[in-house]
Structure 1
Amino acid sequence: MTKHEDQRLRIIDRRTLWNGFINLEQITLEQMMSDGSTARLVREVHDHGRAATILLFDPERQMVVLVRQLRLPVFLQGESGYLIEAPAGLLDGEAPEVAICREAMEETGYHIESALHLFDAYMSPGSITERTSFFLGRIDTSKKVAPGGGLAHEGEDIEVLEIPFEEAIAMIRTGEVCDAKTIMLLQWAMLNRAALSG
């Protein structure tokens, strides 16, 4: 059975509510419930596209490279809005490995020869379509090839952070790192220390 052949679900209607920086749709569907009854549901779905993220790790110095940038939804929750996170971005039609190597260069200034694919995950499947590919990129922090900082024409103003690995792990406990994808990457690294150095 393919992903669109589940006989318990039937799409009744799809309506675009907004098509700008995000695409928001209202979906009306019928779902066969576990008791055999049928329920009609209306849901809003934010189509964000596919994305990729990467943990940049220097095995020689036991450092990770993270970035700090403005995230408006975080600010609207009453926090500073400047979130520490792993480099990431939308695929924009590229293969995940190609896209994340480009994003890493734009955001941090580190050239990635190859990115090791770790896993894929849906980030907020209750309302957002985004599926993110997670990667590991081994780097030498003494060989930064560009300043990074993001693309000015996209409104990016990104701070590049070189953080000792153990300190980055501790930042999860203190709440300084509270971005889901970054926590997932750092916890993967904790569980797979032998793989970090290749």
Structure 2
Amino acid sequence: MKFTLIEQKTLHQGFFRLDACTVRHDTFAGGELNIVRENLERGDAVVVLLHDPIRDEVLLIEQFRIGPVARNDNPWLIEVVAGMLHPGEDPLDCARHECIEEAGYEPTTLKSLGSYYVSPGGCSERIFLYLSEVDATQPVGTGGGLDHEHEDIRVFWVKREDALAMVRDGRINSSGPMLALLLAFQ
């Protein structure tokens, strides 16, 4: 099956970019279809689950997120380390510096848990998931995010089973940490 991107027009350029894409693609019935779809281009990101295997604890973070505000929901989400890749940046390099900036830990290993598209019907963002083992007693910094990125991050450790319970009961309710925890420990 083939497709042709006929036109890509930028509708909005801010922190993210919104494009209108005109595409022609083959159909499963053997024909062709011309469509126009909007795509939110926000770049790719990494998600890193830090695990101390001796204590069997995982590092969680909590921070304000704008998405839930639109739904009048609690905007302070419990997540794991994550960050956007800079253009051309290797996901492993991004994972390393995000662990230090957000959590205050330097990952000793980064095991890939896979990658996925966040919402491919209208967004090109791909997430690279990693698991890293660290010693919770050996931070290399304070974490908490970067002031110039306006980050305000609470960092805390919980037992692995408690984190999985937080996924099951909805206290962890965003895809990155949910998938990282389930892929790493289920």
Structural RMSD (CA): 1.3
Query: Quick one: distance in 2 between partners of 1:50 and 1:187?
Result: 21
Q: Cα offset for 1:102? A: 0.3
Aligned to 1:3: none
Structure 2 gaps, min length 5: none
Q: Cα offset for 1:47? A: 1.2
1:183 aligns with one of 145, 159, 178: 178
**TM-score normalised per structure 2:** 0.94
1:77 aligns with one of 63, 71, 78: 71
How many residues matched?
Answer: 185
Contact 2:113 2:184 in 1 (8 A): no
Query: Quick one: distance in 2 between partners of 1:20 and 1:119?
Result: 29
Amino acid of the structure 2 residue aligned with 1:134: L
Aligned to 2:119: 124
Structure 1 gaps, min length 5: 1-5, 192-198
Q: Cα offset for 1:38? A: 2.8
1:102 aligns with one of 93, 97, 111: 97
Q: Cα offset for 1:147? A: 1.1
Please give the residue correspondences for 1:44-55 in structure 2 after superposition, counting only pairs within 5 Å: 44-55=38-49
Deviations 1:137-169 (A, max 9, x none): 111111112111101111110111211111000
Deviations 1:106-138 (A, max 9, x none): 001111133122211112111111111111111
Q: 3-state SS of the aligned residue for 1:167?
A: helix
Q: Is 1:39–2:33 an aligned residue pair?
A: yes
**TM-score normalised per structure 1:** 0.89
Contact 2:113 2:180 in 1 (8 A): no
